[in-house]
Amino acid sequence: MTHLRKIMLEELQRRHYSEATTQRYIRLVERFAQHFHRSPDRLGTRHIREYQAQLFTLQKLSPGSVTNHLCALRFFYIQTLKRPWSITDTPYPKKTHRLPTILSQEEVAQLIDAARTPFHRTILMTLYATGVRDAELTRLKVSDIDSRRMVIHIQGGKGRQDRDVMLSPVLLDELRAHWRRLRKKSSTWLFPGNRWHTGARPIDTKTPRHACQYAARRAGITKSVYPHLLRHCFATHLLEAGADLHTIQILLGHHDLKETARYLHLSQRHLHATASPLDTLVLRGRSQQEE
């Protein structure tokens, strides 16, 4: 497995998968191999179906978790082993679509103000001001900040697509203050890694996740707060402020407008703008129990 692990790692890195996804995919393929006590290149479709069934029945995993396992195995068989993969033989389970919990703008302000460090505060502000994914934030470069055009260039986003997002004047001031605070100015990364933020590599996705968790705890916010939630807040609050869906789609980097349309279900402005049919009924009086 060591040789196959190395090949898989190289393929994942070549295709610019995030560090978190890379480690997760490798870990899931290794679990698959350990389950059958055999090298994964000696396993086939029958084993994948059997493994998928036990993930549901024995481990009681959710459809989303089982899909993650299948995505890792699919990458391994197609990209590492160069073998065909049949969706018909190993179908993905149907996902349960749940709407995310959204923070109000007041709660977002409380979250940012409760950041444990100035570095965390800058991260939280950047996530909310731009709607970037946490992996995209970690790879932001100094050269991506275009203060003349007031945009931020997002390079190699999901699907290896580039896009531009707006650069808020408030965020620009914060980023300049963040730059002045850095002990060692990186020639490349906007958010350098290691404890003192002086590393040659950028932060990993644990940093924005911890920034969210610590700030939520300090702010007394009981909702589950994570980096992608601030992306949801960015889109929902834009929609409530009057931005159109197509603009939000471009800013988020969605390929399908259906992905963006989900925020209609979260926008209070759109929910409150539609009257309930109960309001149009002519009722005779109060309920009998009240009389």
Active site residue: 69, 231, 232, 237, which one?
231
Active site (annotated) includes residue 69:
no
Whether the CB-CB separation of 239 and 248 falls below 8 Å is answered with yes
Whether the CB-CB separation of 114 and 158 falls below 8 Å is answered with no
Whether the CB-CB separation of 45 and 86 falls below 8 Å is answered with yes
Tokens 């995993």, residue located: 61
Active site residue: 35, 163, 209, 228, which one?
228
Active site (annotated) includes residue 133:
yes
Active site residue: 47, 141, 153, 158, which one?
158
**Cβ neighbours of residue 169 closer than 8 Å, sequence gap 6 or more:** 150
Active site residue: 24, 209, 210, 254, which one?
254
Distance between CA atoms of residues 273 and 186, nearest Å: 48
Distance between CA atoms of residues 267 and 272, nearest Å: 9
Active site (annotated) includes residue 263:
yes
**Cβ neighbours of residue 289 closer than 8 Å, sequence gap 6 or more:** none
Active site residue: 25, 51, 128, 263, which one?
263
Active site (annotated) includes residue 121:
no
Burial label for 115, CB within 10 Å (0-12, 13-18, 19+), is: buried
Active site residue: 120, 121, 133, 232, which one?
133
Instruction: Enumerate the active-site residues.
Output: 133, 158, 228, 231, 254, 263
